Structure 1
Amino acid sequence: MSDTQVALEAKQARDVRGFWRVLLAVIAPVPMLFMGLYYLISPVDGDAPFEKTLAAVAADPGRFQLMQWLQVPFFLLIAAMFAVAWVARRGAPRLATAGGLLAVGGMSAGFFLLSGVVGPEYLVVHDGLDAGLMAKFGDAMEKQPTEQIGGLLFILAVTFGLLLLGIALWRSRVAPAWMGFALAFGGFTHPFMPGHLAAGAGLIVAAIGFAGASVALLRTSNDDFDLPPLAR
């Protein structure tokens, strides 16, 4: 080996493609899995009246505290959506691009514009706040234009964004076809599921669909995943 070749190899940047590939594979099913568990252990539906939810929190505050923590991994959903779009981009480029833009864009707006994981009902029980005042606060927050826009974009991301990504995953053939169908079905049907148990089961199905990206990423070589690092 010549001195020039030794010098070039010494300047080669570290290859971390394997790290990113496995990390995305691990992340992909996590957010929907935890959110599905959130719905499954919830004693009330997501659109339950304030008074009913407040009574449920007062009866079992520990459960609602656990539900808050189960929502925390949901912030990984943007990375999970990107993982699906990335593995499907070569086999179904237009669908992956459209689904990725709608899903990631809508979810980003939803995360920024919507309220956090702590609800006013929990604060009434946990911090002894006035129930009537917090009911008015919650109602006023839901009527804010930014909340409504964020909610609309969030729903579009979960329904049509995941629908397109699921079809792209199926069309790309990088994972079993049924996993693409699971992602499309679990996301698109979520707003229409009757009750929290059905909603939770639907999100578990979506998590299985997201695992299709995990399968594809773990099967992919580093060279197929991305270009190698450049020499410094």
Structure 2
Amino acid sequence: MHTDTQPAGTTAAAGKPPKDVRGFWRVLLAVIAPLPMLAQGLYYILWPSDSNATFPQSVQDTTDHLGLIGALQWIETPFLVGLIPATFAVAWVARRGAPRLATIGALLALVGDLAGFPLIPNGDRLAYLTAEQHLDVPAMTALSDAQENYLLGQLAGLLFIIGITVGLLLLGLALWRSKAAPAWMGWALAIGGFTHPFVSGLVPGYIAQGLGLWVAAAGFAGASYALLRMRDDEFDLPPQTRTIA
């Protein structure tokens, strides 16, 4: 028994060749690419609490701005849901022009995302739930402290920071070297990601970090630029019909 493959456009005994949906995936990735960093940048800029606030202070700030914080929970969603496919979009665009940089950068960024999203405790959400549900602040403060000291969460946080800084730096350089998008877009991705942990003290709150993520979003838009300009045949191989003989 063996498996034969036939290119798209041929007729097989099993029926018509599968429908070509490369255009759908290409446009979908182009739409998704800049959204996570745009959303998270807005989240940081609108966040009313100071970046070094204690958990009880964060609960108080949340209580004072409960409607805004509730809305921000939804605004953050594109970042949590979309950063992985957005990262994949950049790697896919840059992989031919800068295969090694794109591969290393994507591995670091994706490992950081996959470790960080499920394992890093979300203190902002915990503060929101404490305020919104009128939970016991001392008890929730103890839970917040326990989460902050949880070794697995700390390791996940380290991987996430490496992914955002080093991973996106390398992906930005790969996008620049690939010439798939304007050079400034590659540098925007590299700078926006790498500087993210280091700009929090420049202005009060999280505004500097939010603006930095908007710079990174411009870099992710470089993948959108390239994806929308390329043909389906440049994006991926055509579908094939498989027959079993």
Q: TM-score range by the shorter chain?
A: over 0.9
Distance 1:23 1:46 in 2: 34
Question: Which residue in the other structure is 1:228 paired with?
Answer: 238
SS in structure 2 at match of 1:81: helix
User: Which residue is equivalent to 1:7?
Assistant: 11
Q: How many residues align?
A: 228
The whole-number CA distance in structure 1 between the counterparts of 2:173 and 2:194 is 11
**Would the aligned equivalents of 1:120 and 1:135 in 2 still touch at CA under 8 Å?**
no
Cα distance in 2, alignment partners of residues 36 and 214 from structure 1 = 18
Structure 2 counterpart of 1:36, one-letter code: G
SS in 1 for 2:240: coil
**Is the strand fraction higher in 1 or 2?**
2
* Structure 1 residue 118 displacement after superposition: 5.5
* Structure 1: gaps spanning 5 or more residues: none
Structure 1 residue 53, shift from structure 2 partner: 1.2
Matching residue within 87, 96, 100 for 1:90: 96
The change in CA–CA distance for 1:131 and 1:208 in structure 2 (over 3 A counts) is same
Kindly indicate whether the alpha-carbon contact (under 8 Å) linking 2:185 and 2:220 is maintained by their aligned counterparts in 1.
yes
Q: Distance in 1 between matches of 2:192 and 2:52?
A: 19
> Whose helix proportion is higher, 1 or 2?
1
Per-residue displacement from partner, 1:191-221 (whole Å, max 9, x unpaired)? Answer: 0112400010000111111000000000110
Residues of 2 paired with 1:196 and 1:101: CA distance? 28
Question: What's 2:194 paired with?
Answer: 188
Q: Contact (CA 8 Å) 1:68, 1:117: kept in 2 or not?
A: no
Query: Is 1:155 the counterpart of 2:156 in the alignment?
Result: no
TM-score calculated relative to the size of structure 1: 0.94
Quote the Cα distance in structure 2 between the aligned partners of 1:6 and 1:31.
40
Q: Secondary structure at the match of 1:227?
A: coil
Offset at residue 231 of structure 1 (A): 2.0
Identity of aligned residues (%): 56
- SS of the equivalent of 1:7 reads coil
- 1:39-58: per-residue Cα shift (whole Å, max 9, x none)? 01011234421132122111
Match of 2:62 among 57, 61, 69: 57
Aligned CA RMSD, in angstroms, stands at: 1.6
Stretches of structure 2 lacking an aligned partner (at least 5 in a row): 1-8
